[in-house]
A and B are shown apart, each in its own frame.
Chain A
Amino acid sequence: MKRDPVASGTAVRSGTGVASGAPAVSGGVTAALGALGVVVGLRAVFGAPLHASIGWLVPFAGLRIDLDPLGGAFMALTGAVAAAVGVYAIGYARREHWARFPLVMLPVFVLTLLVVPAAGSVTTFLFGWEAMALTSLALVLTEHHRDEVRSAGLFYAVLTQIGFVAILVALVSLSSASGSGDFAGIRAAAGDLGPALRNGVFLLTVVGFGSKAGLLPLHAWLPRAHPEAPSPVSALMSAAMVNLGIYGIVRIDVQALGGGPRWWGTTLMVVGAASAVFGVLQASVSADLKRLLAYSTTENMGLIAMAIGASMLLGASGLASVAAIALTAALLHLVAHAAFKALGFLAAGSVLAGTGLRDLDRLGGLARRMPYTTVLFGIAALGATGLPLGAGFVGEWLLLQSLIHTPQGDNTLLSLVIPLSIGALALTTGLGIVAMVKAFGIGFLARPRSEGAEKAREASPTMLVGMALAALGCVVVAVAPAALGPALTRVASTLPSVGGDQGPKLGAILRLPGAAGSVSPAILAAAFAVAISLVLLLARWGVGARPAAVVRPLWAGGGPALTPRMQYTATSFAEPLQRVFDDVLRPDTDVAVTHVAESRYLIEKITFRTAQADAVEEHLYWPVVRAVAAVARGVRKAHTGSIHLYLLFGTIGLLVVIVVGR
């Protein structure tokens, strides 16, 4: 992963002499757009919906903006991420010498991200959606001089397009069947649509939006594109863009169609659970910091999809109040994920900028050279583990609560689905802890494993400010999720099946409606502080009889001084786990033994390499690709270049016409 300075310099600076103020302008505009998105979005959430219609934009259709609380909430969330990323990007772009093109595309990308949730019509939505795909693709390709980036870009482009096709077919069928191109109109007419259409739309949206959210099976672009994009872009993609996949599912399946039969929710839960477990498993064995974060995105989106699925399933089973808990869980976790994933990717970007590395096996010891970044990444990682005092805790807690509160004795489907979901959720949180401990512990603690890590530079002030903003978000979600309460209630009120006053109360203590169950992150945090001070007190025991504290070299087991090479690496850290999940992960291991020249019995070095292929890719994508390629080869064989054959084609056409046409 070491960057070749020459190649990077030539390609990034090619042809453009960027003024030194340009990063500030680009980042500033991005942040300002983000802030505007927050303001407008929040206004829409709290009762100032925005309507605008521009008929002359986009031929034959026109654009239409309809910002309701649901859209507003997503817009505000996107804006918040963008604001932090924008500030960060000022320093990052300067340090990485961005060319003019990405500087221009960054705010444009944010603009498209803001347009999507504000779209009031199918046309506007798809327009924004594809524009978002295009701008993000362009940004992913910023460092296109690297082979991995191009490969990632191709994956991204193709899978996004497949997803887009699914969405397009779903939305266009929906709008033509309901006779309206506006979401409002679709919503009004949704009740009269036939079940076949509704089911088709649901499946297509799960595939299409799921691909954007990184859900199985169209997830493969995510762990490629997110790591290879420049880090501010990774942050925007992983913390804001994927959310819009969830938004699509909520907007269409939950809001417009008002939910469906039970198998809808079940399907979504299965997809979500599979994504969550698969994602976290991959994350926990991944040795690339950004790839790990990207797989963690698949994991968290899977959890959110599970929550939405649960909400749909429960809503369809007539359990509105529990459904509301599940939905709140989804929304809250969405916010939490946005906060900690943005922070995570920004911090990873700082590491990349400071060391030129993202390979955990070569990092380490950053805590001393990059203390602020380390602390900030620690906050993000804590959030991602789902442990208390972290940002991810409350969302996962709510999800678990919704599952616990599902009465199920008399319903076989629920009795099957709910326990299995709990199992998946449980496995996910367990593995999530491993992944994050690895990322933080191996990457930032211990001693540097390479020269790059040894010479790490702390992030620049604007980068730190950007990260601090995201960290603030993490802390708020972790300690005071109550702050989000009013907004979430407003959003939930726009959704049928969970509407009304049934949602969980997000006060200082989170309480569930009509059920026993509560938790209070704020009080827990306070109590934890008290507990820690108590421990500080305990630690004073015997302090008078104690010799003065000293600093000593590490205990090397009696051997000579430890070298950084002797440390555990990310790969070795994950090795036991990889062994456990050998059958699922199917790693590709390769041991190469080099003997010394003189004797076969003496070994000079042993190289152990293990590569982790994506099982879904292996068993789903490539067969399809091979099949298409085989058909294509067949078609190609039919085009031999022989003019006689070509004329024969025409003749056959002529004969067919003669036979059919008469």
Chain B
Amino acid sequence: MAGLLFLPIAAPLVAASLAAIFGWHRWTAIVTALSAMAILGAGVTLAFFTDGESVVDSHHLVRADALSSTMLLVIGAVATLACLASIGYIDAELADGHTSPQAARLYGVLLPLFLATMALSVMAMSIGVMWVGIEATTVVTAFLVGHRRTRAALEATWKYVIICSFGIALAFLGTVLVYFAGTTGEPGNHSLDIDVLLSGAARLDPRVTSLAAGLLLLGYGAKAGLVPFHTWLADAHSQAPAPVSALMSGVLLSVAFYALLRVKSIIDLTLGEGFMRVGLIVMGLLTLAVAALLLVVQTDFKRMLAYSSMENMGIVAIAAAVGTRLAIAALLLHVLAHGVAKALVFVSSGAIQGAHGSTAIANVRAVLARSPLVGSAFTLGIVVLLGLPPFAMFASEWGVARALAAQHFGWLLGTMLVFVAIAFTGLVRAGSSMMLGAPQAGDTPFVPPRAIGGTLILGIGLSVALCFSLGPLTNLLDAAATTLGAGR
């Protein structure tokens, strides 16, 4: 069991070392993809063992419960897509001379490292280690975002690193304060462990904890793309290579949010539900508003997708604010479905960008007619993101809505849906102008590289598999919600 617990972290590390030693090769890339699948596999296996009871590893280093398993599933699923897409992406870049072998090697190393840090974050025993993992993702992804070394990429990277580091540093301060609120001066090696904090949460000093809660909210919110530290997101997501954007949008945000959920479950025990709820509602609504409004005036499709991620994080934050069992389960489903759909959309947007050499919405026309596969994948992804049935995000958004109504948050639901509708408008308008229409002179058909095509087909399959029903996943989501102490 212990081995299984370490697998999600170790497998990508192995892949990273191989890539570091041998440089970028198709086989190292495949190993990376296999390590992503290992994460997925570990998630699936752990899901069977984590119905309510958490599995704890020795050394008090990593642990897994239903929530961690769910997050591993999300990471694994999206990472598999992203790693497969990376093969086609980097190969194409190398073939076109857009990237050097050194840069490719760096990419090959950092991509699995990125996966490892995320796996570490969701499996960390201690919220301190969890923080380390999340801060490490910033460091690791910095050069992934800046992979293309253009001025814009550099600018995005700088903003990304500075803003995220600033934010995440606040989370560290918050973590320290939580530690301080629990211990009265005596150091203890395990006092930041999740289970220890949960059992001792009632003894935390409320005033210190409330300061800590605010800082944690801001800090992890920065990484999750919540206002006011959201400003890095669109730049970084639009400048990163498509597979990396997919990972960042699809999972990194969720992993950061996972951290927020973890600390929320502790703080709620100390301060009651109200404190974090207010914060999450304010930040969630602001995020939603900013994202929705920027979506309708958007002219760049990769930024549009980034803002769509923000929009969804806003919804997730509001769901977390409600915090009932239904809300949390719906939130997790939302995260999963959003991850897969975003991967699909970002990977296909990469293919579109490759074919046009531009990310301006106005320059893209008639993709469905010119490249049915890419067009279908992008369209399907957008449809999923719009929350239309039979796809999973309908169920998750509907679950959130029900949870909100059940807690008498009618006004919140209404406000949220207004912004969702505004975002809907933006997405539909941009999506239809890109996908539909008849090709005009100069609009040549294009075919994505085989690996990317395969990824798209796989992504379409995953999205379709998530419609209508989740099968056993439903129980897992329920158990995950229970581990967060969401009783109702």
Residue positions of A touching B, CB distance < 8 A: 7, 10-11, 14-15, 56-61, 123, 126-127, 130-131, 133-134, 141, 144-147, 149-150, 153-154, 157-158, 161-162, 165, 168-169, 172-173, 175-176, 181, 628-629, 631-633, 635-636, 639, 643, 646-647, 649-650, 652-654, 657-658, 660-662
Q: Return the chain B residue nearest A162 by Cβ.
A: B421
Q: Are A15 and B372 CB-contacts (below 8 A) given A60-B399, A632-B294?
A: yes
| A154 surroundings in chain B (CB, below 8 A) | 428-429, 432
Q: Which of A149, A173, A646 contacts B231 (CB 8 A)?
A: A646
Q: Are A647 and B166 in contact, CB atoms less than 8 angstroms apart?
A: yes
A157 touches B433 (CB 8 A): no
Pick the contact of B474: A59, A144, A176 (CB < 8 A).
A59
Q: A147 — which chain B residues lie within 8 A by C-beta?
A: 437
Q: Does B346 contact A (CB under 8 A)?
A: no
The interface residues of chain B lying within 8 Å CB-to-CB of A131 are 388-390
Q: Does B468 contact A (CB under 8 A)?
A: yes
Contact across chains for B213 and A59 when beta carbons are under 8 A apart: no
The residue that B170 contacts in the complex, of A7, A635, A654, with Cβ under 8 A, is A654
Interface mask (B406-439 → A, CB under 8 Å = 1, otherwise 0): 1010100110011011101100110011001111
Among residues of A, the one whose C-beta sits closest to the C-beta of B471 is A56
Q: Which of A146, A175, A653 is the one whose CB lies under 8 Å from B218?
A: A653
Chain B 463-475 near chain A by CB (<8 Å), digits 1 or 0: 0000011110110
Interchain CB contact under 8 A, B162 and A643: yes
Contact A662–B207 (Cβ < 8 Å)? yes
A interface, over-half SS: helix
Does B364 belong to the interface (CB within 8 Å)? Answer: no
Which 6 A-B pairs have CB atoms at the shortest separation, nearest pair first?
A657-B214, A661-B214, A145-B438, A646-B231, A653-B228, A144-B436
Smallest distance from the beta carbon of B99 to chain A beta carbons, Å? 26
Q: How far is the CB of B413 from chain A (nearest CB, A)?
A: 6
- Asked whether B6 is an interface residue with its Cβ less than 8 Å from the other chain, the reply is no
Neighbour of A662 across the interface among B210, B329, B387, B390, CB < 8 A = B210
* Interface pair B330/A165, CB less than 8 Å apart: no
Report B392-410 CB contacts with A as 1/0, cut-off 8 Å. 1011101101101110101
Q: A60-B326, A639-B294 are in contact. Are A650 and B167 (CB under 8 A)?
A: yes
Chain A residue numbers with a CB within 8 Å of B227 are: 649, 653
Within 8 A of A (CB), among B209-246: 210-215, 217-218, 222, 227-229, 231-232, 234
| Cβ of B158 under 8 Å from chain A | yes
What residues of chain A lie closer than 8 Å to B213, measured between beta carbons? 661
A to B CB contacts below 8 Å, 17 in the list: A56-B474, A57-B469, A58-B395, A60-B326, A60-B399, A144-B437, A145-B369, A154-B432, A165-B414, A168-B398, A169-B413, A633-B297, A639-B231, A646-B231, A649-B228, A660-B214, A662-B210
Q: How far is the CB of A1 from chain B (nearest CB, A)?
A: 16
| CB-based contact A14/B372 at 8 Å | yes
Give the contacting residue for B422; candidates A145, A153, A168, A628; CB below 8 A.
Answer: A628
Secondary structure type dominating chain B contacts: helix
Nearest CB to that of B167 among chain A residues? A650
B402 touches A176 (CB 8 A): yes
Q: Which residues of B contact A (CB under 8 A)?
A: 158-159, 162-163, 166-167, 170, 207, 210-215, 217-218, 222, 227-229, 231-232, 234, 289-290, 293-294, 296-297, 326, 329-330, 333, 366, 368-369, 372, 383, 387-390, 392, 394-396, 398-399, 401-402, 404-406, 408, 410, 413-414, 417-418, 420-422, 424-425, 428-429, 432-433, 436-439, 468-471, 473-474, 477
Complex CA–CA separation, A473 to B16 (angstroms) = 70
What is the CB-to-nearest-CB distance from B72 to chain A, in angstroms, rounded to a whole number? 19
Asked whether A165 lies within 8 Å of B421 as measured between CB atoms, the reply is yes
Are the C-beta atoms of B293 and A631 separated by less than 8 Å?
A: yes
How many Å from the CB of B307 to the closest CB on chain A?
10
- Contact partner, B293, options A153, A165, A635, Cβ 8 Å: A635
CA distance A580 to B487 in the complex (A): 66
Q: Are A173 and B297 in contact (CB under 8 A)?
A: no
Of the residues B387, B392, B405, contact of A176 by C-beta under 8 Å: B405
Q: Given that A158-B424, A632-B294, A650-B229 are contacting pairs, would A168 and B417 also be in contact in the complex, using a CB cutoff of 8 Å?
A: yes
Cβ of A636 to closest chain B Cβ, rounded Å? 6
> Looking at the complex, which one of A165, A632, A652, A662 makes contact with B296 (CB distance below 8 Å)?
A632
Q: Which residues from B are CB-within-8-Å of A150?
A: 432-433, 436-437
Complex interface: chain B residues within 8 A of A629 (CB): 296-297
Which A residue sits closest to B391, measured CB to CB? Answer: A134
Beta-carbon contact of A126 and B163 below 8 Å: no
Q: CA separation between A157 and B207, bound complex, in Å?
A: 48
Contacts A59-B396, A59-B477, A157-B428 known; 5 new A-B pairs at CB < 8 A: A7-B438, A60-B326, A134-B383, A157-B432, A172-B404
**CB–CB B398/A126 < 8 A:** yes
How many angstroms from the CA of A270 to the CA of B353 in the assembled complex?
51
Q: Are B159 and A172 within 8 A (Cβ)?
A: no
A134 touches B474 (CB 8 A): no
- Residues of chain A within 8 A (CB-CB) of B477 are 59
